[in-house]
């Protein structure tokens, strides 16, 4: 196996690992946040607007983690910085 194949396989494996971990955590976090927000709205319906606004800000922050992992995986696959050391 040559060095180009090893770098390509490591890039694909790293991208897959980044997406697997990067989507599992935010998915569980978003589910927990929505569950807690619905419970809070059920207990205090008058504060629905405030809770909903805070929920959406929190969900956006959680989603940004998944987006960062997606960007890292795309960099590993399409713009890997290690190709410059292998291909000369």
When pLDDT is averaged across residues 63-75 and rounded to a whole number, the result is: 93
Rounded to 10 deg, the angle between the 3-43 and 48-78 helix axes is 180
12-55 tens-digit pLDDT: 999 999 999 999 999 999 999 999 999 999 999 999 999 999 99
88 — pLDDT class (breaks 50, 70, 90): low
Residue 83 above 90 pLDDT? no
Domains and CATH numbers, the chain: 3-80 (1.20.20.10)
């Amino acid at each position: 196996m040559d060095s180009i194949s090893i770098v390509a396989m490591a890039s694909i494996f790293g991208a897959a690992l980044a997406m697997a971990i990067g989507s599992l955590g935010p998915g569980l976090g978003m589910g927990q946040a929505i569950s807690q927000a619905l419970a809070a709205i059920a207990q205090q319906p008058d504060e629905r607007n405030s809770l909903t606004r805070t929920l959406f800000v929190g969900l956006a922050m959680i989603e940004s983690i998944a987006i960062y992992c997606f960007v890292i995986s795309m960099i590993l696959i399409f713009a890997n910085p290690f190709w410059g050391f292998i291909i000369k």
